[in-house]
Amino acid sequence: MKILIIGSGGREHALAWSIFDSPLCDELIIAPGNPGIAQLGRCEAVSAEDTAALVALAKNEAADLVIVGPEVPLVNGLADDLIAANIPVFGPHAAAARLEGSKAFARDFCDRHNIPQPKWQNFTKAEAATAFAAKLNGYCVIKADGLAAGKGVVVCSNLKEAEQAIIELLGGRFGLASQEILVEERITGPELSAFALMDGKSVLWLASAQDYKRAFDGDAGPNTGGMGAVSPSPHETDVLRDQIMSTIITPVAKGMAAEGCPYNGVLYAGLMLTEGGPKVIEFNCRFGDPEAQVVLPRLKSDFLSAALTVVEGGLENFDLRWIDQTAVTVVMAADGYPGSYQKGQPIHGADQLETAAGGLIFHAGTASADDGQLISAGGRVLAVTALGNDRQLARSEAYAAVKTVFWPDAMFRTDIAAD
Ligand code: AMP
Ligand code: GLY
């Protein structure tokens, strides 16, 4: 089969790596890809956000399956356009991707289907939003309704902070995405990312992970796209998994089907484990980045075969097998990320995906200079993953693999999976 993967980050490198080895895959194309991904397949310079050009590429190549990595093309309707062109796609329709594309849609949906979540309301006017924040004693979270690359959320401890955030967001900090905002009750507890496959009817639990969102050790500093991850989450138990499936994942699948927009693809539920049970913080309509870099390396089953089952139906009979180990990934970022940072710094020792010691180096923001030298080209540059029999072993293997990369200005957290 000819498989086309859309995206250019560490998540897509992990997807390409897991599909490259599949006996079902004859040819792998990635748009636009990156230098690491280029070792596994042919990269085509088409932007992941140019829907029309992606559909044309998929048609020209006669792709047997398109796997979409990031959220923006899904929210913009890439899956709909591919299906209209008779090209099978792993990733939800725009109507189902609204679970990520509109936080107000996701919250309303949870209310309609009794899915546990914090109290919330949506607003377009600052005065009413502030009044609701005052009801919550200022201990609340202010969110842009639309996509804001993970940055449209302000966690507040008092009314003054809440007021300021409300004014900034409604004042256009995220353009159209924050014309409407949500004010939510601020809930507390450990966070867990839950991943499940959905074929429109059936659901299959995939994995849990924990993401480290803050830039610096000890969960200090600004929010980032994710500085590291561990899978499974240290909080996962059989009982918790059953509870998440029965109170959140299955009701999402049933609710979407009942509302006429069945969900196909991977659902990523960002949860908080509160004293009253797991509650929904957010939904994403795709794999996490860097969570994919710890979930996929643990998978013993053929991911491509699972993805095809998602597209064709029949997940209820699909048996997923896992490697009985923990995976840890450490993100190596450019110094200054998520603020301003330099690009073009040479990186040595990251040319091979598999390190001699068994680590995996997934590329995110890398490029090849004219002379072929690998250079940094983004904020999050590499995600270095290792497996181990327990969290501590996986963690020390991952940091040992980080040491094999020579990039003096790299910034990375030293406490991923330490707690
Ligand atoms: P989101 O982009 O919605 O995942 O939010 C980013 C981060 O903000 C989450 O990972 C949580 O740490 C925090 N957060 C979001 N919503 C809430 C909430 N209602 N209560 C407490 N923390 C929240
Ligand atoms: N790591 C968070 C995300 O992918 O949204």
Task: Give residue-wise pLDDT tens across range 148-201.
Answer: 776 788 899 999 999 999 988 888 777 777 778 899 999 999 999 999 999 999
Residue with the nearest Cα to atom 1 of ligand 1? 282
Q: Mean pLDDT, to the nearest integer, of 356-383?
A: 95
Please count the other Cβ atoms lying within 10 Å of the Cβ belonging to residue 125.
11
More confident residue, 318 or 175: 318
Give the β-pairing of 380-388 and 203-211. unpaired
> What is the distance in A from the centroid of ligand 1 to the CA of 232?
20
Residue among 281, 283, 286, 289 whose CB has most ligand 1 atoms within 8 A, to mutate: 281
Nearest-5° angle of CA 110, CA 112, CA 114? Answer: 60
| Contact in structure between 174 and 208 (CB atoms under 8 Å) | no
In the structure, which protein residues have their CB atom closer than 6 angstroms to any atom of ligand 2?
150, 211, 225-226, 284, 288-289, 291
pLDDT, residue 170, reads 86
pLDDT, residue 350, reads 92
Give CA–CA dist 381/348, Å, rounded. Answer: 13
- CATH node for 191-317: 3.30.470.20
Residue among 68, 227, 284 whose CB has most ligand 2 atoms within 8 A, to mutate: 284
- Cα dihedral across residues 23, 25, 27, 29: positive or negative: negative
Q: Mean pLDDT, to the nearest integer, of 135-145?
A: 92
Going from the C-alpha of 338 to that of each of 78, 214, 302, the distances in angstroms are 28, 10, 35
Give CA–CA dist 416/227, Å, rounded. Answer: 8
> What is the distance in A from the centroid of ligand 2 to the CA of 149?
9
Q: Mean pLDDT, to the nearest integer, of 390-408?
A: 96
Give CA–CA dist 409/332, Å, rounded. Answer: 10
Pick the CATH number of 119-185 from 3.40.50.620, 3.30.1490.20, 3.30.720.210, 2.40.50.100: 3.30.1490.20
Q: Is pLDDT of 206 > 80?
A: yes
Name residues whose C-beta falls within 8 Å of residue 155's C-beta, 6 or more positions apart in sequence: 141, 186
Residue among 155, 181, 223, 227 whose CB has most ligand 1 atoms within 8 A, to mutate: 155
- CATH node for 326-411: 3.90.600.10
Within 264-418, where are the H helices? 292-295, 303-312, 391-403
Give CA–CA dist 373/203, Å, rounded. Answer: 44
Give CA–CA dist 280/88, Å, rounded. Answer: 30
Give CA–CA dist 214/150, Å, rounded. Answer: 12
What does the domain layout of the chain look like in residue ranges? 2-91, 119-185, 191-317, 326-411
Q: Which atom of ligand 2 is nearest to the CA of 226?
A: 1
Cβ–ligand 1 distance for 282 under 6 Å, the answer: yes
pLDDT, residue 272, reads 98
Give CA–CA dist 234/232, Å, rounded. Answer: 6
**Which CATH class for the 2-91 domain?**
alpha beta
| Contact in structure between 170 and 126 (CB atoms under 8 Å) | yes
Name residues whose C-beta falls within 8 Å of residue 172's C-beta, 6 or more positions apart in sequence: 178, 179
Buried/exposed code over 62-83 (b: 16+ C-beta within 10 A; e: otherwise): ebbbbbbbbbbbbbbbbbbbbb
Q: How far out from the chain centre does Cα 96 lie?
A: 16
Per the prediction, the chain carries an average pLDDT of 95
Give CA–CA dist 363/37, Å, rounded. Answer: 7
Return the closest-CA partner of residue 202 out of 270, 252, 247. 252
Domains 2-91 and 191-317 share a fold: no
pLDDT, residue 98, reads 97
> What is the distance in A from the centroid of ligand 1 to the CA of 57?
37
Within 202-313, where are the H helices? 238-244, 250-258, 292-295, 303-312
Cβ–ligand 1 distance for 153 under 6 Å, the answer: yes
Name residues whose C-beta falls within 8 Å of residue 196's C-beta, 6 or more positions apart in sequence: 203, 204, 205, 206, 245, 249, 266, 267, 269
Residue with the nearest Cα to atom 2 of ligand 2? 288
pLDDT, residue 148, reads 75
Q: Which amino acid is at 262?
A: P
Give CA–CA dist 208/236, Å, rounded. Answer: 7
For residue 400, the SS3 value is helix
Question: Tell me, what DSSP letter sits at residue 406?
Answer: B
Q: Mean pLDDT, to the nearest integer, of 265-275?
A: 98
Residue with the nearest Cα to atom 4 of ligand 2? 288
pLDDT, residue 174, reads 74
pLDDT, residue 150, reads 65
Cβ–ligand 1 distance for 189 under 6 Å, the answer: no
Please count the other Cβ atoms lying within 10 Å of the Cβ belonging to residue 163.
18
pLDDT-based confidence at 240, cuts 50/70/90?
very high
Residue with the nearest Cα to atom 6 of ligand 1? 153
pLDDT, residue 178, reads 72
pLDDT-based confidence at 147, cuts 50/70/90?
confident
* pLDDT above 70 coverage of the chain, percent: 99
Q: How far out from the chain centre does Cα 390 lie?
A: 24
More confident residue, 118 or 154: 118
Q: Which atom of ligand 1 is nearest to the CA of 270?
A: 4
Which phi and psi (to 5°) does residue 267 adopt? -105, 135
Name residues whose C-beta falls within 8 Å of residue 258's C-beta, 6 or more positions apart in sequence: none
Q: Mean pLDDT, to the nearest integer, of 140-144?
A: 92
Going from the C-alpha of 92 to that of each of 63, 79, 88, 341, the distances in angstroms are 18, 6, 11, 34
Q: Is pLDDT of 215 > 70?
A: yes
